[in-house]
Amino acid sequence: MDPLLAVIVSGLAGLSLLPPLASAVLNRRRRREQVAFWREAAGQAALSGVEVSADSLTGSTASFLVRLSNYGAAEFCGTRLEITSPRLAPGLTLRPEGPATVFDRDLRDLRSLRDLKEIEIGDEDFDKQVSVQGPPALALALLDVDTRRTIRTMLRGRLEVRGHRPLWASGRLEDGALRVDLPERSVVARHHGEPEQAGDAYLDGEYQLPRVLRAAIDLATRLVAPEDLARRIADNQAGEPEPRVRLQALLTLLREFPEHAATREAVLAGREDPDAEVRVRAGIALGADGRDVLLGVAGGEGADDGTSARAVEALGRSLTLGRTAELLKNALRTERLATAKVCLGILGLHAGAEAAGVLAKVLLVEKGELAEAAAHALAATGDPSAEAPLLRALAEGVPGLRRAAAAALGRVGTPAAVAPLRAAKSRDAALRGAARQAIAEIHSRLVGAAPGQLSLVGGEAGRLSLADDESGRLSLSDAGGAALPGRPR
């Protein structure tokens, strides 16, 4: 080969090696710079036992093992912080609500994660944005109002720093590990615009790693399981602004720590809670000592219909007939349907003409579910005066009420109700089942009567007899048969 040509070829070959060589040099330089950033962050966070490998840095605090490493590639890359400890929210998972994201590529077992039951904390905004899985008591002990705000913000890609602006960092908690990703500056710029356009939340990537690490360790410290879950839940409840979270806390304490002193304190505090539902649950838990609390809510003190209905139901038989009638009147006046229905049911427990009279008035005036509930309550009284208003409802009511009246007559009707029931059955095909059942129930009460008592013989032939005393026995013959002994001709 021509010597000059050899020199040219050799030079060109050297030039072709420059890009890879330059890239390797840059990568080595980049790794050295990155390790330097990691060491600086570890020093500022006072990590001990620091060890550096080709792709990670590990160290520890008094409570946690900390690991810094690279994550991702191309558009998703940066430094990942992983903070672990056996006591770091054991069994608790906090991740974004909704479909799996790019972060889910690191989950070892998505199927087992989906099988875990999701917990509702009671904070509407938090529950919409954060999927919480694990022990409910632990979740309520750890997720106070400030921690919920920090978690919700972190899952959206911002990490709160005390006394500083939020940082571009996102994370989650799972398998006893808090993982926080700090993206590189180029990633933030690519997805959120240039730094000056990224808003106050943008701070410059790795240069903010020390702040991110300290903030992550601070958050991990707040997520360490307390020794006394019940005490922490009760303390959180005392300062909790969300009523549904306070309710969940109280119910969890009653369910999981019924004998704990903190539960008793929370129940006593619940009597004065601004939320009526919390007051009702506390009143129920207190038994006789909670009666006044339940009476207040039953009368509608700051309570919705469902809550006041629960209060009335909890009071149950302890309510006098007069107090129940008063609560019913108030519920009807304020159009609280559920409360009124519970009151009707309790009136049915008060046997006697007075209760039947109140229920008959409701049956006459009200419509729909209330009228049907009044019919069932009338039957529950067992009072003879219930039959007349029920027969009127059977004759004049709408289909739903007629079925309720027929069922009620099956419980309290006399032989006088059989003919109206048969007539109703023949007029209304939809009523046949209820009327047939009611007639059968009336028959069953009369068969086997004592000597001298009137009874209906089984079946629907309409035979009538005096029971078992042969002397003077009276009966109606079968449809085409001869007169039986004692039948007048």
Q: pLDDT by residue (tens digit) across 1-38?
A: 555 555 554 554 554 544 554 445 445 666 778 888 89
Res 223 pLDDT > 70: yes
Both tokens of 284, joined, read 């129920």
Q: 482: which DSSP letter?
A: P
Mean pLDDT of 299-308: 89
Give the pLDDT band (50/70/90) at residue 446.
confident
Reduced to 3 states (helix: H, G, I; strand: E, B; else coil), residue 171 is strand
Residues in the chain: 489
Among 200, 222, 244, the domain-final residue is 222
For residue 156, the enclosing domain spans 13-222
Handedness of CA 253, 255, 257, 259 (dihedral sign): positive
> Which residues, 6+ apart, have CB-to-CB distance to 3 below 8 Å?
none
The share of the chain scoring above pLDDT 70, in percent, equals 76
DSSP letter (8 states) at residue 225: P
Exposed e or buried b per residue across 5-40, where buried means at least 16 C-beta atoms within 10 angstroms of its C-beta? eeeeeeeeeeeeeeeeeeeeeeeeeeeeebbebbbe
Q: CB of 97 within 8 A of CB of 129? A: yes
Q: Which of 222, 246, 274 is the last residue in one of the domains?
A: 222
Distance of alpha carbon 35 from the chain centroid? 47
Q: How confident is the model at residue 206 (pLDDT cuts 50, 70, 90)?
A: low
Model confidence over 371-418: pLDDT tens digits? Answer: 999 999 999 999 999 999 999 999 988 989 999 999 999 999 999 999
User: In this model, does residue 346 exceed pLDDT 90?
Assistant: yes
Mean pLDDT of 157-170: 82
Count of structural domains within the chain: 2
The answer to the question of residue 137 being in a domain is yes
| 47 Cα distance to chain centroid | 42
- For residue 409, the model assigns a pLDDT of 93
Gap between the Cα atoms of 250 and 328, Å rounded: 29
In a domain, 278, yes or no: no
**Looking at the domain assignment, is residue 88 inside a domain?**
yes
Q: Is the pLDDT of residue 138 over 90?
A: yes
What confidence tens digit (pLDDT) does each residue in 39-70 have?
999 999 999 999 998 789 999 999 999 999 98
Indicate whether 379 belongs to any domain: no
Q: Confirm whether 4 is domain-assigned.
A: no
More confident call, 125 vs 1: 125
In this prediction, residue 456 has a pLDDT band, given cuts at 50, 70 and 90, of very low
Tell me 275's DSSP state: S
The pLDDT score that the predictor gives to residue 255 is 97
Higher pLDDT, 291 or 192: 291
Q: What are 327's two structure tokens?
A: 């609560």
Average confidence score pLDDT of the chain: 81
Res. 468: pLDDT tops 60: no
Last residue of a domain, one of 173, 206, 222: 222
Domain-located, residue 426: no
Cβ atoms of residues 233 and 141 within 8 Å: yes
Does a structural domain hold residue 423? no
According to the model, what pLDDT value does residue 6 have? 55
Please tell me the predicted confidence (pLDDT) of residue 78. 86
Residue 151 pLDDT class (50, 70, 90 cuts): very high
Q: What is the pTM of this model?
A: 0.75
Query: What string of DSSP letters covers 78-121?
Result: EEEEEEE-TTBSTT-EEEESSS--GGGGG-S-HHHHHHSPBPP-
pLDDT at 274: 95
The pLDDT of residue 448: 53
In terms of Cβ atoms closer than 10 Å to its own Cβ (0-12, 13-18, 19+), residue 179 is buried
DSSP state string for 390-458: HHHHHHHS-HHHHHHHHHHHHHH--GGGHHHHHHHHHH-GGGHHHHHHHHHHHHHHHTTPPTT-EEEPS
Cα distance between residue 250 and residue 465, in whole Å: 62
Residue 471 has pLDDT above 50, yes or no: no
- Distance, in Å, from the CA atom of 289 to the CA atom of 7, rounded to the nearest integer, reads 103
Q: Is 393 left (phi over 0), alpha (psi -120 to 50) or beta?
A: alpha
Residue 73: which pLDDT band, with cuts at 50, 70 and 90? low
Is residue 420 in a domain?
Answer: no
Tokens 């070959």 label which residue? 13
